[in-house]
A and B are shown apart, each in its own frame.
Chain A
Amino acid sequence: MKKFLGVLRYEYSMSIRRRSLLVIMFLFAAFFIYLWADAGVQFQQREDDITQALLAEAAQTVFFLNLFFPVIVGVSSADRAVRDDKLGVREILRSTGLGNFVHVLGKYFGVAFSMLTVELVIVILISTILVTLSALPLAFVLYSLLAVMLISAPAIFFVTAFSLACPLVMPVRVYQIMFTGYWYWGNYLSPQVLPTVSNTLLNASGRFPMIAFFGEKVATNWASVSHTEAVANILILLGCAALALTAMIAYLNWREKRA
């Protein structure tokens, strides 16, 4: 357990201190504050049920953030596992008796938590400024954090797992391009335009939990979603992440046995 926490702590620290990630964080925050500054004022004029309205607004904010943020998560975490080989650190790590199971899990949670931290900071910044500018209740900040946990966090855990595992068997650049294509094809494209999984429980955009838990539909033609479906959607994403990590551990074990 101590080794796991050690890997988690240092992977978190190495991941979150990347300057590029911090720059992206502030650019995102600035962009969304700019976009939502007007929307907050309109919102007050159009809604009667304040709690529902705040929840819907918070969900929408996070949903739109999810349009881009997981792409950044996927692209920026793609080097985290392969760099152990590139830097030549894996040999020292293996000499310590650190098993692949503990190493992969520690790295996974370290990187995923760092991405989640960045998103939480962005959302806190956006929601706090909206609260200040539009005189919204402070609860909006809490609802936004809740929206991150239900709408965005499953996507981050899903994406991080594949971004650690896949680049071990393909070039990082190829993965980054393929992943970006997948994100928009698999989550936002209508099946009427091109065959896609965007209407299935594999959708990672956060649409299912947004509709089920926050009652918000960004597009009027979206079907209703039950709580069970939304929970199933989250569990399937986490299950896929677990499968990707299991495959990664098996691959690293196999590679070591061959050495």
Chain B
Amino acid sequence: MIEIKNLHKTYGSGPKAVTALKGIDLSIEQGMYGLLGPNGAGKTTLMRILAGIVHASAGSVWVNGNDMKTDQGRRQVKAQLGYLPQELGLYPDLTARQFVDYMAILKGVDDPQLRKKRVQAVLEMVSLLDVADRKIKGYSGGMKRRVGIAQALVNNPRILIVDEPTAGLDPEERIRFRNLLVELAAKRFVLLSTHIVGDIGQTCRNMTVLSKGEVRYQGNPAELTQLAKDHVWTITSPDGAKPNAGLTIVSMQHMPEGVNYRVVGADVGRYPQAVQEQPSLEDGYVWLMK
């Protein structure tokens, strides 16, 4: 169980201080949990506090009974943690196998035979076995991301914190990794932070939407989707003029009869041709953030 109470985080002090989290309260149970929000919402800060990398300014965070305010608590959590940061840094002069092996040593996988097996297994999991002995400096962005995923999994962690894990992955790999996360979540805490609404909708039982350092929504993806019920429309504009009047365009498509705009908004009175649509999770998110 992860318990977060009245969590505040401020970077710097004085007039230049930036408040990243403003009194967050969250309760996260085992399984897959999603964090969604725009840039600067505080998702990465929250992830880094949970990973024991950043200290909270105020409030309390307990992870599996460990108080993250104490060195002892942070040590305990790190011993069972797999972490993939958003800004992933790797040593370019090591091969993927060496890098993952290095991380395994640092995470306490001491037995060389076991370590070798684990490294092999996670490299296979992320489809890097063929190039595992090539230096990382020759890898593409997506391959580097997969090395990051492999190092996060190498110690078979009980808590997995992944920040934008699918960024840079091709569609097939993205689906594979999403499914892998769901499998892992059967016996673990998996915290997934992403901009990709679809990734949350297809994997998470529960989720939180953060905005400007505050919790805007906490619940399940289906309920968030339903928030936009009766507020999603398709408006066809023969001359291509964009709908306005407080409507948010979610998508647009050029068709022979004009431009189809999918919009989220409260009032489409000015557009008699508007057709009501079933909301998606993305629509629910857009409606929430309006």
Taking Cβ atoms with an 8 Å cutoff, the residues of A that contact B are 2-3, 6-7, 10, 13-14, 17-18, 84, 87-98, 257, 259
Interface residues of B in 24-57 (CB under 8 A from A): 48, 51-55
Chain A residues within an 8 Å CB radius of B87: 88, 91
Contact A3 B105 (CB under 8 A): yes
B83 near A95 with CB under 8 A, answer: yes
Residue B102 is within 8 A (CB to CB) of chain A in the complex: yes
Residues of B46-92 contacting chain A, CB below 8 A: 48, 51-55, 74-75, 78-79, 81, 83, 85, 87-92
**Given A95-B52, A95-B81, A90 and B89 touching (CB < 8 A)?**
yes
The reply to whether A93 and B106 form a contact with Cβ atoms under 8 Å apart is yes
Cβ-defined contact, A92 with B103, below 8 A: yes
Provide the residues of chain A in CB contact with B102, threshold 8 Å. Answer: 6, 10
**Interchain CB contact under 8 A, A87 and B55:** no
B110 at the A interface (CB under 8 A): yes
Q: Please pick, from A18, A87, A88, A97, the residue contacting B107 in the complex, using a CB distance under 8 A.
A: A97
Instruction: Please tell me if B93 contacts chain A, counting CB pairs below 8 Å.
Output: yes
Number of B interface residues, CB 8 Å? 31
Q: Which residue of A lies closest to B109 (CB)?
A: A2
Hey, which chain B residues are within 8 Å of A10, CB to CB? Answer: 91, 94, 98, 102
Extra contacts besides A13-B98, A95-B81, A97-B106 (4): CB < 8 Å: A91-B48, A91-B53, A92-B148, A259-B54
- Quick one: given A2-B110, A10-B98, are A17 and B93 in contact (CB under 8 Å)? yes
What distance in Å separates the Cβ of B26 from its nearest Cβ neighbour in chain A?
20
Shortest 8 CB-CB contacts between residues of A and residues of B: A88-B89, A6-B105, A97-B78, A95-B83, A96-B106, A89-B89, A87-B89, A10-B102
- Contact: A87 with B91, CB < 8 Å? yes
24 pairs across A/B with beta carbons < 8 Å? A3-B108, A6-B102, A10-B94, A10-B102, A13-B94, A13-B98, A18-B93, A87-B89, A87-B90, A88-B85, A88-B88, A91-B85, A92-B83, A92-B85, A92-B88, A92-B148, A93-B106, A95-B51, A95-B52, A95-B81, A95-B85, A97-B52, A97-B106, A259-B55
| With A3-B106, A98-B106: A14-B78 Cβ-Cβ less than 8 Å | no
CA A182 to CA B52, docked complex, whole Å: 40
| Interface assignment of B151: CB less than 8 Å from any CB of chain A | yes
Q: Which residues of B contact A14 (CB under 8 A)?
A: 91, 93-94
A259 to B107, alpha carbons, bound, how many Å? 22
B78 adjacent to A259 (CB under 8 Å) = no
A residues within 8 A CB of B75?
97
> CB < 8 Å: which of B48, B74, B92, B108 contacts A87?
B92
Please name the residue on chain A nearest to B102 by beta carbon.
Answer: A10
Complex Cα–Cα for A87 and B55 (A): 22
Q: Does the CB pair B94–A92 fall under 8 Å? A: no
Q: Which partner residue on chain A sits nearest B88 by CB separation?
A: A88
B241-276 contacts to A, CB under 8 A, are none
Q: Which residue of B lies closest to A259 (CB)?
A: B54
Which of A3, A10, A87, A259 lies at the interface centre, i.e. has the most chain B CB atoms within 10 A of its CB? A10
CA gap between A110 and B150 in the complex, in Å: 25
Q: Which residues of A contact B54 (CB under 8 A)?
A: 259
Interface contact A6-B89, CB-CB below 8 Å: no
Please report the C-alpha to C-alpha distance between residue A6 and residue B115 in the assembled complex, in whole angstroms.
12
Q: Which residue of B lies closest to A98 (CB)?
A: B106
Q: How many Å lie between the Cα of A94 and that of B106 in the bound state?
A: 10
Would you give the shortest CB distance from B143 to chain A, in whole angstroms?
16
Q: A6-B106, A17-B93 are in contact. Are A92 and B98 (CB under 8 A)?
A: no
Q: In the complex, how many angstroms separate the beta carbon of B41 from the nearest chain A beta carbon?
A: 19
Complex CA distance for A155 and B83, rounded to whole angstroms:
39
Interface string of B226-244 (1 = CB under 8 A from A): 0000000000000000000
Tell which of A88, A91, A95, A259 has the most Cβ of chain B within 10 Å. A95
Candidates A2, A17, A87, A88; contact of B105 at CB < 8 Å: A2
Residues of B within 8 A of A6 (CB): 102, 105-106
